[in-house]
Amino acid sequence: MIRGLVSRATGLAAVRATSRAASATALATAPSATGGTSAMMRHVPPSIVTAMGTQSRGYTSSTPRAVTVVFVEACDGTRHEVEAEVGSSLLDVAHDNDIELEGACGGELACSTCHVVLSEEWFEKVGELSPVSEEEEDMLDLAWGLTDTSRLGCQITVTEALDGIELIIPDED
């Protein structure tokens, strides 16, 4: 009997919390009659507003930003300028845009088939954001056409700082 009461009380508390959250979301995102932000919006903490993805009064949207990435095929110089979602790996960006960058292990750091070559400038910038791990160095040792500025595409995460990055896909022939 006591277990049943505790279970019901816990269930009611969860329903009330969910209901309060839904009400806060509805009030916070409701436009005012004048087309601006509702009066309630001014009292919603910025962390909640940002989590809801609302843009108002300087708050940023939670929608990921896209940056430009340029893949250059070493075999013939073909350039593929694509939009990349922040947070994706360069391997995923290549696959999403039908660019031939193998990635045989699926981005699990178990091969070197997503080997790319960066300019010295981009290599340094990427290294500041995502240093080469010992595991990546071990896999790079197996890569064909290894250079001092080689990286694995699966280990580079796209950030806004990488907007405009160019990388070369080595020719395996």
Measuring CA to CA, how many Å separate 99 from each of 69, 70, 75, 173?
A: 12, 11, 13, 17
Residues 6 or more apart from 103 whose CB is under 8 A from it?
Answer: 91, 94, 95, 111, 113, 114, 153, 154
Q: Give me the pLDDT at residue 15, please.
A: 39
Whether 55 shows a pLDDT value over 80: the answer reads no
Counting every residue, how long is the chain? Answer: 173
Specify whether the CB–CB gap between 42 and 131 falls below 8 A: no
> Model-level pTM greater than 0.85?
no
Whether 127 shows a pLDDT value over 80: the answer reads yes
Whether 89 shows a pLDDT value over 50: the answer reads yes
**118 bridge partner residues:** 167
Q: Give me the pLDDT at residue 172, please.
A: 78
Encode pLDDT of 132-171 as tens digits: 999 999 999 999 999 999 999 999 999 999 999 999 999 8
Alpha-carbon distance 130 to 157, whole Å? 8
**150 bridge partner residues:** 117
Nearest of 66, 67, 37 to residue 52 by alpha carbon:
37
Alpha-carbon distance 69 to 89, whole Å? 11
Show the tokens assigned to 81.
């300028």
φ, ψ for residue 149 (rounded to 5)?
A: -115, 30
Q: Give me the pLDDT at residue 20, please.
A: 42
Whether 43 shows a pLDDT value over 70: the answer reads no
Mean pLDDT estimate for the chain: 77
**Mean pLDDT to the nearest integer, 106-134:** 96
Whole-number percent of the chain with pLDDT over 90 = 60
Q: Give me the pLDDT at residue 74, please.
A: 95
Alpha-carbon distance 54 to 9, whole Å? 33
